[in-house]
Chains A and B, each alone.
Chain A
Amino acid sequence: MNATRNTQAAKLYLFYFLLLAAIVFAVMFPRLTLPFGFSYIIYLMSKPLTMMLTTGSKKQRFFYLMLILVCVTFLFFPLFATLYNLETDFGGLYQQLPEVQKILQDKFFAFKVEIFERFGLRINMDPVTFVIQKLEKQGSKVLVQFPNYVSSIFEWLLLVPMFLFFFFKESKTFSGLFMETIPNSIFEKTYVLFTQFNTKFGEYIIAKFIEATILGTLITLGLLVVGFPYPFILGFVAGITNILPYIGPIIGFIPAFFVALLSKDPNVSMIAMVSIYAIANLIDMILVFPLLVSKIVNLHPIVVVVSIIVGSQLAGIVGMIVIIPFIAFFKLLFKEIYQDLSVQL
Protein backbone atom coordinates (compact mmCIF):
# COMPACT_ATOMS: atom_id res chain seq x y z
CA MET A 1 0.00 0.00 0.00
CA ASN A 2 2.85 2.38 0.93
CA ALA A 3 4.77 1.56 -2.27
CA THR A 4 1.68 2.32 -4.35
CA ARG A 5 1.20 5.60 -2.50
CA ASN A 6 4.83 6.59 -3.09
CA THR A 7 4.58 5.80 -6.81
CA GLN A 8 1.38 7.85 -7.04
CA ALA A 9 3.03 10.78 -5.25
CA ALA A 10 6.08 10.55 -7.55
CA LYS A 11 3.82 10.58 -10.63
CA LEU A 12 1.97 13.60 -9.27
CA TYR A 13 5.18 15.55 -8.57
CA LEU A 14 6.54 14.65 -12.01
CA PHE A 15 3.34 15.96 -13.62
CA TYR A 16 3.51 19.25 -11.67
CA PHE A 17 7.20 19.59 -12.56
CA LEU A 18 6.44 19.09 -16.27
CA LEU A 19 3.62 21.65 -16.04
CA LEU A 20 5.92 24.18 -14.37
CA ALA A 21 8.67 23.51 -16.94
CA ALA A 22 6.14 24.13 -19.75
CA ILE A 23 5.12 27.46 -18.15
CA VAL A 24 8.77 28.53 -17.73
CA PHE A 25 9.47 27.57 -21.37
CA ALA A 26 6.42 29.57 -22.50
CA VAL A 27 7.59 32.67 -20.61
CA MET A 28 11.22 32.34 -21.76
CA PHE A 29 10.45 31.87 -25.46
CA PRO A 30 7.57 34.23 -26.32
CA ARG A 31 8.59 34.21 -30.00
CA LEU A 32 7.45 30.59 -30.10
CA THR A 33 4.67 30.57 -27.53
CA LEU A 34 2.81 33.63 -28.87
CA PRO A 35 2.26 32.22 -32.40
CA PHE A 36 1.57 28.83 -30.78
CA GLY A 37 -1.09 30.39 -28.54
CA PHE A 38 -2.54 32.37 -31.46
CA SER A 39 -2.78 29.19 -33.58
CA TYR A 40 -4.43 27.39 -30.66
CA ILE A 41 -7.04 30.17 -30.38
CA ILE A 42 -7.81 29.89 -34.13
CA TYR A 43 -8.02 26.10 -33.75
CA LEU A 44 -10.47 26.42 -30.83
CA MET A 45 -12.52 28.98 -32.79
CA SER A 46 -12.77 26.68 -35.79
CA LYS A 47 -13.76 23.62 -33.74
CA PRO A 48 -17.54 24.31 -33.64
CA LEU A 49 -17.50 24.99 -37.39
CA THR A 50 -15.57 21.81 -38.22
CA MET A 51 -17.93 19.83 -36.00
CA MET A 52 -20.93 21.25 -37.90
CA LEU A 53 -19.36 20.41 -41.24
CA THR A 54 -18.18 16.90 -40.40
CA THR A 55 -21.31 15.51 -38.74
CA GLY A 56 -24.94 15.17 -39.77
CA SER A 57 -26.50 14.33 -43.12
CA LYS A 58 -25.43 15.75 -46.50
CA LYS A 59 -28.38 18.18 -46.48
CA GLN A 60 -27.46 19.43 -42.99
CA ARG A 61 -23.82 19.89 -43.99
CA PHE A 62 -24.85 21.82 -47.11
CA PHE A 63 -27.18 24.01 -45.02
CA TYR A 64 -24.42 24.77 -42.48
CA LEU A 65 -21.93 25.52 -45.26
CA MET A 66 -24.37 27.97 -46.88
CA LEU A 67 -25.15 29.56 -43.50
CA ILE A 68 -21.44 30.07 -42.79
CA LEU A 69 -20.86 31.53 -46.26
CA VAL A 70 -23.76 33.97 -45.87
CA CYS A 71 -22.54 35.02 -42.38
CA VAL A 72 -18.96 35.48 -43.59
CA THR A 73 -20.10 37.55 -46.58
CA PHE A 74 -22.37 39.80 -44.53
CA LEU A 75 -20.24 40.09 -41.41
CA PHE A 76 -16.76 40.25 -42.84
CA PHE A 77 -17.34 42.37 -45.92
CA PRO A 78 -17.20 45.67 -43.95
CA LEU A 79 -13.91 44.52 -42.43
CA PHE A 80 -12.45 43.82 -45.88
CA ALA A 81 -13.81 47.13 -47.09
CA THR A 82 -12.22 48.75 -44.02
CA LEU A 83 -8.84 47.23 -44.81
CA TYR A 84 -9.13 48.58 -48.35
CA ASN A 85 -10.03 52.04 -47.07
CA LEU A 86 -7.73 52.07 -44.04
CA GLU A 87 -4.82 53.42 -46.05
CA THR A 88 -6.91 56.34 -47.37
CA ASP A 89 -8.35 57.07 -43.93
CA PHE A 90 -4.95 56.87 -42.20
CA GLY A 91 -3.43 59.07 -44.93
CA GLY A 92 -6.17 61.64 -44.35
CA LEU A 93 -5.62 61.56 -40.61
CA TYR A 94 -1.83 61.86 -40.98
CA GLN A 95 -2.19 64.91 -43.25
CA GLN A 96 -4.54 66.47 -40.73
CA LEU A 97 -2.18 65.97 -37.77
CA PRO A 98 -0.48 69.44 -37.92
CA GLU A 99 -3.91 71.01 -38.25
CA VAL A 100 -5.17 68.98 -35.28
CA GLN A 101 -2.12 70.08 -33.26
CA LYS A 102 -2.81 73.72 -34.08
CA ILE A 103 -6.51 73.47 -33.16
CA LEU A 104 -5.71 71.71 -29.89
CA GLN A 105 -3.05 74.31 -29.00
CA ASP A 106 -5.46 77.19 -29.81
CA LYS A 107 -8.21 75.61 -27.67
CA PHE A 108 -5.80 75.02 -24.78
CA PHE A 109 -4.49 78.60 -25.05
CA ALA A 110 -8.07 79.92 -24.90
CA PHE A 111 -8.68 77.73 -21.85
CA LYS A 112 -5.51 79.06 -20.14
CA VAL A 113 -6.57 82.67 -20.83
CA GLU A 114 -10.06 82.01 -19.42
CA ILE A 115 -8.63 80.43 -16.24
CA PHE A 116 -6.28 83.40 -15.80
CA GLU A 117 -9.06 85.94 -16.32
CA ARG A 118 -11.50 84.20 -13.96
CA PHE A 119 -9.24 82.93 -11.18
CA GLY A 120 -5.91 84.70 -11.75
CA LEU A 121 -4.14 81.38 -12.07
CA ARG A 122 -1.30 81.06 -14.57
CA ILE A 123 -0.91 77.62 -16.18
CA ASN A 124 2.68 77.14 -17.29
CA MET A 125 2.57 73.60 -18.59
CA ASP A 126 1.91 72.71 -22.22
CA PRO A 127 0.38 69.21 -22.32
CA VAL A 128 -0.54 69.40 -26.01
CA THR A 129 3.09 69.86 -27.16
CA PHE A 130 4.17 67.23 -24.62
CA VAL A 131 1.68 64.65 -25.96
CA ILE A 132 2.51 65.44 -29.62
CA GLN A 133 6.26 65.15 -28.91
CA LYS A 134 5.66 61.82 -27.13
CA LEU A 135 3.66 60.56 -30.13
CA GLU A 136 6.41 61.66 -32.54
CA LYS A 137 8.99 59.89 -30.38
CA GLN A 138 6.90 56.70 -30.33
CA GLY A 139 6.41 57.00 -34.09
CA SER A 140 10.17 57.22 -34.69
CA LYS A 141 10.67 54.25 -32.35
CA VAL A 142 8.18 52.27 -34.46
CA LEU A 143 10.12 53.27 -37.60
CA VAL A 144 13.41 52.10 -36.06
CA GLN A 145 11.81 48.83 -34.99
CA PHE A 146 10.07 48.38 -38.35
CA PRO A 147 12.52 45.74 -39.74
CA ASN A 148 11.99 43.69 -36.55
CA TYR A 149 8.22 43.91 -36.97
CA VAL A 150 8.50 42.77 -40.59
CA SER A 151 10.72 39.83 -39.64
CA SER A 152 8.34 38.79 -36.84
CA ILE A 153 5.41 39.03 -39.28
CA PHE A 154 7.26 36.65 -41.61
CA GLU A 155 8.02 34.40 -38.65
CA TRP A 156 4.32 34.33 -37.73
CA LEU A 157 3.34 33.70 -41.37
CA LEU A 158 5.54 30.62 -41.28
CA LEU A 159 4.80 29.39 -37.75
CA VAL A 160 1.02 29.96 -37.48
CA PRO A 161 0.04 27.77 -40.50
CA MET A 162 2.53 25.15 -39.35
CA PHE A 163 1.09 25.03 -35.80
CA LEU A 164 -2.45 25.10 -37.19
CA PHE A 165 -1.71 22.13 -39.43
CA PHE A 166 -0.25 20.37 -36.39
CA PHE A 167 -3.37 21.11 -34.31
CA PHE A 168 -5.78 19.93 -37.00
CA LYS A 169 -3.83 16.79 -37.85
CA GLU A 170 -2.34 15.73 -34.53
CA SER A 171 -4.61 17.25 -31.88
CA LYS A 172 -6.09 13.85 -30.95
CA THR A 173 -2.68 12.19 -30.60
CA PHE A 174 -1.34 15.20 -28.71
CA SER A 175 -4.29 15.39 -26.30
CA GLY A 176 -4.12 11.58 -25.86
CA LEU A 177 -0.46 11.86 -24.85
CA PHE A 178 -1.26 14.73 -22.50
CA MET A 179 -4.06 12.70 -20.90
CA GLU A 180 -1.71 9.77 -20.37
CA THR A 181 0.72 11.95 -18.41
CA ILE A 182 -2.00 13.06 -15.99
CA PRO A 183 -1.79 10.99 -12.78
CA ASN A 184 -4.85 8.87 -11.93
CA SER A 185 -5.51 10.74 -8.68
CA ILE A 186 -6.27 14.04 -10.49
CA PHE A 187 -7.33 12.71 -13.89
CA GLU A 188 -11.12 13.19 -13.69
CA LYS A 189 -10.95 16.78 -12.48
CA THR A 190 -8.11 17.81 -14.79
CA TYR A 191 -9.79 16.29 -17.83
CA VAL A 192 -13.18 17.91 -17.11
CA LEU A 193 -11.65 21.33 -16.33
CA PHE A 194 -9.36 21.18 -19.39
CA THR A 195 -12.32 20.36 -21.65
CA GLN A 196 -14.47 23.09 -20.10
CA PHE A 197 -11.67 25.63 -20.50
CA ASN A 198 -11.17 24.72 -24.17
CA THR A 199 -14.89 24.96 -24.88
CA LYS A 200 -15.33 28.26 -23.01
CA PHE A 201 -12.25 29.83 -24.54
CA GLY A 202 -13.15 28.88 -28.13
CA GLU A 203 -16.80 29.90 -27.75
CA TYR A 204 -15.88 33.20 -26.07
CA ILE A 205 -13.37 34.28 -28.72
CA ILE A 206 -15.68 33.38 -31.62
CA ALA A 207 -18.67 35.09 -29.91
CA LYS A 208 -16.67 38.28 -29.26
CA PHE A 209 -15.40 38.27 -32.83
CA ILE A 210 -18.95 38.06 -34.23
CA GLU A 211 -20.16 40.71 -31.75
CA ALA A 212 -17.31 43.05 -32.77
CA THR A 213 -18.11 42.56 -36.46
CA ILE A 214 -21.81 43.31 -35.94
CA LEU A 215 -21.10 46.47 -33.92
CA GLY A 216 -18.38 47.66 -36.32
CA THR A 217 -20.73 47.13 -39.28
CA LEU A 218 -23.59 49.02 -37.59
CA ILE A 219 -21.38 52.00 -36.73
CA THR A 220 -19.75 52.10 -40.19
CA LEU A 221 -23.16 52.02 -41.89
CA GLY A 222 -24.57 54.67 -39.53
CA LEU A 223 -21.61 57.02 -40.04
CA LEU A 224 -21.81 56.49 -43.82
CA VAL A 225 -25.50 57.42 -43.80
CA VAL A 226 -24.98 60.70 -41.89
CA GLY A 227 -21.85 61.58 -43.92
CA PHE A 228 -19.44 61.52 -40.96
CA PRO A 229 -15.74 61.47 -41.95
CA TYR A 230 -13.59 58.30 -41.72
CA PRO A 231 -16.55 55.90 -41.31
CA PHE A 232 -14.54 52.76 -42.07
CA ILE A 233 -11.66 53.37 -39.69
CA LEU A 234 -13.98 54.58 -36.90
CA GLY A 235 -16.27 51.54 -37.37
CA PHE A 236 -13.21 49.28 -37.40
CA VAL A 237 -11.82 50.84 -34.19
CA ALA A 238 -15.25 50.62 -32.48
CA GLY A 239 -15.54 46.94 -33.49
CA ILE A 240 -12.04 46.03 -32.32
CA THR A 241 -12.28 47.93 -29.01
CA ASN A 242 -15.70 46.35 -28.38
CA ILE A 243 -13.89 43.05 -27.78
CA LEU A 244 -13.06 44.54 -24.36
CA PRO A 245 -16.17 44.40 -22.18
CA TYR A 246 -17.53 47.59 -20.51
CA ILE A 247 -14.54 49.89 -21.20
CA GLY A 248 -14.21 48.89 -24.87
CA PRO A 249 -17.21 50.93 -26.13
CA ILE A 250 -15.88 54.04 -24.33
CA ILE A 251 -12.39 53.66 -25.84
CA GLY A 252 -13.98 53.06 -29.25
CA PHE A 253 -16.02 56.24 -28.94
CA ILE A 254 -13.05 58.56 -28.13
CA PRO A 255 -11.60 58.86 -31.70
CA ALA A 256 -15.03 59.72 -33.17
CA PHE A 257 -15.56 62.29 -30.40
CA PHE A 258 -12.26 64.03 -31.24
CA VAL A 259 -12.98 63.95 -34.98
CA ALA A 260 -16.35 65.63 -34.33
CA LEU A 261 -14.80 68.11 -31.86
CA LEU A 262 -12.01 69.21 -34.18
CA SER A 263 -13.93 69.21 -37.43
CA LYS A 264 -14.75 72.56 -39.03
CA ASP A 265 -17.20 71.01 -41.46
CA PRO A 266 -20.78 72.17 -40.59
CA ASN A 267 -22.17 68.86 -41.90
CA VAL A 268 -20.32 66.93 -39.17
CA SER A 269 -22.84 66.57 -36.39
CA MET A 270 -21.77 65.55 -32.90
CA ILE A 271 -25.38 64.66 -31.98
CA ALA A 272 -25.81 62.34 -35.00
CA MET A 273 -22.50 60.61 -34.23
CA VAL A 274 -23.33 60.16 -30.52
CA SER A 275 -26.78 58.80 -31.44
CA ILE A 276 -25.26 56.25 -33.85
CA TYR A 277 -22.78 55.03 -31.22
CA ALA A 278 -25.53 54.91 -28.57
CA ILE A 279 -27.96 52.99 -30.82
CA ALA A 280 -25.27 50.53 -31.98
CA ASN A 281 -24.17 49.88 -28.38
CA LEU A 282 -27.79 49.54 -27.24
CA ILE A 283 -28.43 46.91 -29.95
CA ASP A 284 -25.26 45.19 -28.78
CA MET A 285 -26.29 45.30 -25.10
CA ILE A 286 -29.93 44.29 -25.60
CA LEU A 287 -29.67 41.78 -28.47
CA VAL A 288 -26.18 40.64 -29.41
CA PHE A 289 -24.45 40.31 -26.02
CA PRO A 290 -27.25 38.36 -24.23
CA LEU A 291 -27.63 35.99 -27.19
CA LEU A 292 -23.96 35.40 -27.91
CA VAL A 293 -21.69 36.08 -24.96
CA SER A 294 -23.40 36.30 -21.56
CA LYS A 295 -24.10 32.57 -21.24
CA ILE A 296 -20.45 31.75 -21.90
CA VAL A 297 -18.95 34.13 -19.34
CA ASN A 298 -21.06 34.46 -16.23
CA LEU A 299 -18.97 37.00 -14.29
CA HIS A 300 -19.81 40.01 -12.14
CA PRO A 301 -19.19 43.39 -13.93
CA ILE A 302 -16.68 44.49 -11.24
CA VAL A 303 -14.74 41.24 -11.66
CA VAL A 304 -14.67 41.85 -15.43
CA VAL A 305 -13.35 45.44 -15.12
CA VAL A 306 -10.70 44.47 -12.54
CA SER A 307 -9.68 41.50 -14.73
CA ILE A 308 -9.24 43.75 -17.78
CA ILE A 309 -6.95 46.09 -15.80
CA VAL A 310 -4.93 43.12 -14.52
CA GLY A 311 -4.81 41.64 -18.05
CA SER A 312 -3.52 44.91 -19.52
CA GLN A 313 -0.78 45.04 -16.85
CA LEU A 314 0.25 41.46 -17.58
CA ALA A 315 0.15 41.25 -21.37
CA GLY A 316 -1.11 44.53 -22.88
CA ILE A 317 -4.02 44.45 -25.33
CA VAL A 318 -3.83 40.66 -25.83
CA GLY A 319 -4.01 40.26 -22.05
CA MET A 320 -7.11 42.47 -21.92
CA ILE A 321 -8.89 40.21 -24.42
CA VAL A 322 -7.89 36.75 -23.22
CA ILE A 323 -8.06 37.41 -19.48
CA ILE A 324 -11.89 37.05 -19.40
CA PRO A 325 -12.12 33.35 -20.40
CA PHE A 326 -9.15 32.69 -18.09
CA ILE A 327 -11.03 34.29 -15.18
CA ALA A 328 -14.16 32.28 -16.07
CA PHE A 329 -11.98 29.16 -15.96
CA PHE A 330 -10.43 30.13 -12.60
CA LYS A 331 -13.93 30.70 -11.25
CA LEU A 332 -14.77 27.09 -12.16
CA LEU A 333 -11.49 25.91 -10.62
CA PHE A 334 -12.03 27.76 -7.34
CA LYS A 335 -15.63 26.53 -7.19
CA GLU A 336 -14.30 22.99 -7.53
CA ILE A 337 -11.60 23.47 -4.86
CA TYR A 338 -14.10 25.15 -2.52
CA GLN A 339 -16.55 22.26 -2.89
CA ASP A 340 -13.77 19.76 -2.18
CA LEU A 341 -12.72 21.66 0.93
CA SER A 342 -16.29 21.95 2.20
CA VAL A 343 -16.67 18.15 1.91
CA GLN A 344 -13.42 17.58 3.80
CA LEU A 345 -14.29 19.97 6.66
Chain B
Amino acid sequence: MSYEKDQMEKFLKGDGSSDRLDIPLLKYMWDASPLAFMTTKESYHEYFKKISVLQSFSDNEIRLFTKFLHRREFAVNEVIFRQGDSGYGFYFIFSGSVNIYANQQIQTDDLGDLVIRLEKRQYFGEMGLLEDFNRRSATVVAAESTVLLGIFKPDLERMLEIYPVLGAKFLRETALIMANRMGQLTREILTLKKKVKDLEQRV
Protein backbone atom coordinates (compact mmCIF):
# COMPACT_ATOMS: atom_id res chain seq x y z
CA MET B 1 0.00 0.00 0.00
CA SER B 2 1.33 3.44 -0.91
CA TYR B 3 1.93 6.13 1.69
CA GLU B 4 -0.80 8.33 0.19
CA LYS B 5 -3.42 5.56 0.42
CA ASP B 6 -2.38 4.78 3.97
CA GLN B 7 -2.72 8.44 4.94
CA MET B 8 -6.05 8.78 3.10
CA GLU B 9 -7.50 5.74 4.92
CA LYS B 10 -6.34 7.09 8.24
CA PHE B 11 -7.87 10.45 7.38
CA LEU B 12 -11.23 8.88 6.39
CA LYS B 13 -11.26 6.89 9.63
CA GLY B 14 -10.54 10.10 11.49
CA ASP B 15 -7.12 8.92 12.77
CA GLY B 16 -4.97 11.27 10.76
CA SER B 17 -6.13 14.60 12.17
CA SER B 18 -3.56 15.15 14.90
CA ASP B 19 -2.65 18.57 16.27
CA ARG B 20 1.02 17.64 16.23
CA LEU B 21 3.26 18.24 13.28
CA ASP B 22 3.80 15.02 11.33
CA ILE B 23 7.55 15.14 10.68
CA PRO B 24 7.75 11.83 8.71
CA LEU B 25 4.97 13.11 6.46
CA LEU B 26 6.76 16.40 5.88
CA LYS B 27 9.94 14.48 5.14
CA TYR B 28 8.09 12.30 2.70
CA MET B 29 6.52 15.31 0.97
CA TRP B 30 9.97 16.90 0.78
CA ASP B 31 11.55 13.85 -0.84
CA ALA B 32 8.60 13.05 -3.12
CA SER B 33 8.03 16.58 -4.42
CA PRO B 34 7.45 16.41 -8.21
CA LEU B 35 9.42 19.64 -8.54
CA ALA B 36 12.41 18.18 -6.71
CA PHE B 37 14.37 17.47 -9.90
CA MET B 38 14.12 21.14 -10.83
CA THR B 39 15.70 22.54 -7.68
CA THR B 40 19.46 22.50 -7.19
CA LYS B 41 19.11 22.43 -3.39
CA GLU B 42 17.18 19.15 -3.54
CA SER B 43 19.81 17.55 -5.69
CA TYR B 44 22.50 18.77 -3.26
CA HIS B 45 20.47 17.05 -0.53
CA GLU B 46 20.42 13.76 -2.41
CA TYR B 47 24.08 14.17 -3.29
CA PHE B 48 25.29 14.68 0.29
CA LYS B 49 23.15 11.82 1.60
CA LYS B 50 25.30 9.52 -0.55
CA ILE B 51 28.64 10.86 0.69
CA SER B 52 30.07 8.40 3.19
CA VAL B 53 31.79 10.90 5.50
CA LEU B 54 28.61 12.95 5.94
CA GLN B 55 26.34 10.00 6.69
CA SER B 56 26.00 10.99 10.34
CA PHE B 57 24.28 14.24 9.22
CA SER B 58 20.50 14.34 9.56
CA ASP B 59 18.34 15.62 6.68
CA ASN B 60 17.96 18.98 8.35
CA GLU B 61 21.71 19.22 9.00
CA ILE B 62 22.40 18.54 5.31
CA ARG B 63 19.88 21.24 4.39
CA LEU B 64 21.65 23.72 6.68
CA PHE B 65 25.09 22.60 5.51
CA THR B 66 24.25 23.26 1.83
CA LYS B 67 23.53 26.92 2.74
CA PHE B 68 27.26 27.44 3.32
CA LEU B 69 28.44 25.96 0.03
CA HIS B 70 29.61 27.71 -3.14
CA ARG B 71 28.94 26.19 -6.51
CA ARG B 72 31.85 26.66 -8.94
CA GLU B 73 31.89 25.44 -12.52
CA PHE B 74 35.15 24.52 -14.25
CA ALA B 75 35.81 23.88 -17.94
CA VAL B 76 37.86 20.91 -19.10
CA ASN B 77 41.60 21.43 -18.32
CA GLU B 78 40.86 24.48 -16.17
CA VAL B 79 43.20 24.70 -13.18
CA ILE B 80 41.28 24.64 -9.88
CA PHE B 81 44.35 25.48 -7.83
CA ARG B 82 48.09 25.14 -8.20
CA GLN B 83 50.70 23.63 -5.94
CA GLY B 84 51.97 26.39 -3.62
CA ASP B 85 48.80 28.55 -3.83
CA SER B 86 47.25 29.74 -0.57
CA GLY B 87 44.46 27.35 0.35
CA TYR B 88 41.22 28.30 2.08
CA GLY B 89 38.69 25.78 0.84
CA PHE B 90 37.53 22.20 0.82
CA TYR B 91 35.83 20.91 -2.35
CA PHE B 92 33.30 18.16 -3.07
CA ILE B 93 33.03 16.94 -6.67
CA PHE B 94 29.35 17.39 -7.56
CA SER B 95 29.76 16.32 -11.17
CA GLY B 96 32.69 15.55 -13.48
CA SER B 97 36.17 14.57 -12.35
CA VAL B 98 39.52 16.11 -11.50
CA ASN B 99 43.17 15.13 -11.93
CA ILE B 100 45.64 15.70 -9.12
CA TYR B 101 49.26 16.41 -10.03
CA ALA B 102 52.30 16.68 -7.75
CA ASN B 103 55.91 17.86 -8.15
CA GLN B 104 54.98 20.80 -10.35
CA GLN B 105 57.92 22.97 -11.43
CA ILE B 106 57.20 26.52 -10.25
CA GLN B 107 56.54 29.10 -13.00
CA THR B 108 56.36 26.47 -15.74
CA ASP B 109 53.44 25.08 -17.72
CA ASP B 110 54.34 21.55 -16.69
CA LEU B 111 51.69 20.31 -14.23
CA GLY B 112 53.94 17.62 -12.74
CA ASP B 113 53.18 13.92 -12.26
CA LEU B 114 49.59 12.68 -12.28
CA VAL B 115 48.95 11.23 -8.82
CA ILE B 116 45.27 10.33 -8.86
CA ARG B 117 41.97 11.02 -10.59
CA LEU B 118 39.02 11.86 -8.34
CA GLU B 119 35.45 11.26 -9.48
CA LYS B 120 31.97 12.39 -8.44
CA ARG B 121 31.27 12.29 -4.66
CA GLN B 122 34.97 12.44 -3.82
CA TYR B 123 36.58 15.42 -2.13
CA PHE B 124 39.90 17.26 -1.81
CA GLY B 125 41.56 20.28 -0.18
CA GLU B 126 40.49 19.66 3.42
CA MET B 127 43.88 20.90 4.72
CA GLY B 128 43.05 24.37 3.35
CA LEU B 129 40.05 24.55 5.63
CA LEU B 130 41.88 23.63 8.82
CA GLU B 131 45.44 24.90 8.52
CA ASP B 132 46.54 28.54 8.97
CA PHE B 133 48.54 29.86 6.00
CA ASN B 134 47.97 26.65 4.11
CA ARG B 135 49.85 26.09 0.86
CA ARG B 136 48.34 23.64 -1.60
CA SER B 137 50.48 20.52 -1.81
CA ALA B 138 49.31 19.53 -5.30
CA THR B 139 47.85 20.98 -8.49
CA VAL B 140 44.24 20.10 -9.28
CA VAL B 141 42.89 20.32 -12.84
CA ALA B 142 39.37 19.62 -14.12
CA ALA B 143 39.59 16.45 -16.24
CA GLU B 144 36.23 17.22 -17.84
CA SER B 145 33.50 19.81 -17.41
CA THR B 146 33.23 19.79 -13.61
CA VAL B 147 31.00 21.27 -10.92
CA LEU B 148 32.51 21.61 -7.45
CA LEU B 149 30.84 22.51 -4.18
CA GLY B 150 33.32 24.41 -2.02
CA ILE B 151 33.27 25.41 1.62
CA PHE B 152 35.81 28.02 2.77
CA LYS B 153 37.32 29.19 6.05
CA PRO B 154 34.91 32.14 6.55
CA ASP B 155 31.97 29.81 5.91
CA LEU B 156 33.21 27.35 8.53
CA GLU B 157 33.65 30.20 11.02
CA ARG B 158 30.13 31.45 10.30
CA MET B 159 28.76 27.91 10.61
CA LEU B 160 30.44 27.44 13.99
CA GLU B 161 28.96 30.76 15.13
CA ILE B 162 25.39 30.21 13.89
CA TYR B 163 25.05 26.40 14.13
CA PRO B 164 27.79 25.25 16.55
CA VAL B 165 26.58 21.63 16.69
CA LEU B 166 26.59 21.35 12.90
CA GLY B 167 29.99 23.09 12.72
CA ALA B 168 31.46 20.72 15.31
CA LYS B 169 30.01 17.72 13.49
CA PHE B 170 31.48 18.87 10.18
CA LEU B 171 34.86 19.50 11.83
CA ARG B 172 34.76 15.98 13.30
CA GLU B 173 34.09 14.53 9.85
CA THR B 174 36.90 16.62 8.34
CA ALA B 175 39.22 15.41 11.11
CA LEU B 176 38.21 11.83 10.25
CA ILE B 177 39.11 12.44 6.60
CA MET B 178 42.48 13.78 7.71
CA ALA B 179 43.01 10.80 10.03
CA ASN B 180 42.22 8.39 7.17
CA ARG B 181 44.68 10.19 4.89
CA MET B 182 47.32 10.12 7.63
CA GLY B 183 46.78 6.39 8.11
CA GLN B 184 47.13 5.86 4.36
CA LEU B 185 50.32 7.94 4.32
CA THR B 186 51.79 6.02 7.24
CA ARG B 187 51.11 2.72 5.49
CA GLU B 188 52.70 4.03 2.29
CA ILE B 189 55.78 5.26 4.18
CA LEU B 190 56.12 1.87 5.90
CA THR B 191 55.93 0.08 2.53
CA LEU B 192 58.50 2.44 1.03
CA LYS B 193 60.83 1.97 4.02
CA LYS B 194 60.55 -1.76 3.65
CA LYS B 195 61.38 -1.51 -0.06
CA VAL B 196 64.39 0.73 0.66
CA LYS B 197 65.60 -1.75 3.28
CA ASP B 198 65.23 -4.64 0.81
CA LEU B 199 67.15 -2.68 -1.82
CA GLU B 200 69.92 -1.85 0.68
CA GLN B 201 70.26 -5.53 1.64
CA ARG B 202 70.48 -6.53 -2.05
CA VAL B 203 73.20 -3.94 -2.70
- CB distance B88 to A192 under 8 Å? yes
- CB distance B75 to A7 under 8 Å? yes
- CB distance B74 to A336 under 8 Å? no
Chain A residues in 8 Å Cβ range of B163: 55
Contacts known (A8-B78, A51-B161); A188 close to B107, Cβ less than 8 A: no
Q: Contact partner of B74 among A184, A189, A191, A343, CB < 8 A?
A: A184
Chain A residues in 8 Å Cβ range of B161: 51, 55
Chain A 185-223 near chain B by CB (<8 Å), digits 1 or 0: 101110110011001000000000000000000000000
Q: Contact partner of A179 among B70, B79, B80, CB < 8 A?
A: B70
Contacts known (A185-B79, A187-B72); A336 close to B152, Cβ less than 8 A: no
Q: Contact partner of A51 among B78, B85, B87, B162, CB < 8 A?
A: B162
- Please tell me if B86 contacts chain A, counting CB pairs below 8 Å: yes
- Please tell me if B89 contacts chain A, counting CB pairs below 8 Å: yes
- Nearest-neighbour CB distance to chain A for B87, whole angstroms, equals 7
Interface size on B, residues (CB 8 A): 28
Contacts known (A4-B77, A4-B78, A51-B161); A189 close to B86, Cβ less than 8 A: yes
Q: Contact partner of B88 among A184, A188, A343, A344, CB < 8 A?
A: A188
- Please tell me if A339 contacts chain B, counting CB pairs below 8 Å: yes
- Please tell me if B84 contacts chain A, counting CB pairs below 8 Å: yes
Q: Closest 10 interchain pairs by CB?
A: A195-B154, A343-B84, A4-B77, A1-B77, A192-B88, A188-B88, A55-B162, A4-B75, A4-B78, A188-B89
Q: Which residues of B contact A (CB under 8 A)?
A: 70, 72, 74-81, 84-89, 106-107, 128, 133, 135, 150, 152-154, 161-163
Q: A188-B128, A192-B153 are in contact. List 19 more A-B contacts (CB 8 A).
A: A4-B78, A7-B75, A51-B161, A51-B162, A184-B74, A184-B78, A187-B72, A188-B86, A191-B88, A191-B154, A192-B154, A196-B154, A336-B86, A339-B133, A340-B85, A343-B84, A344-B84, A344-B106, A344-B107
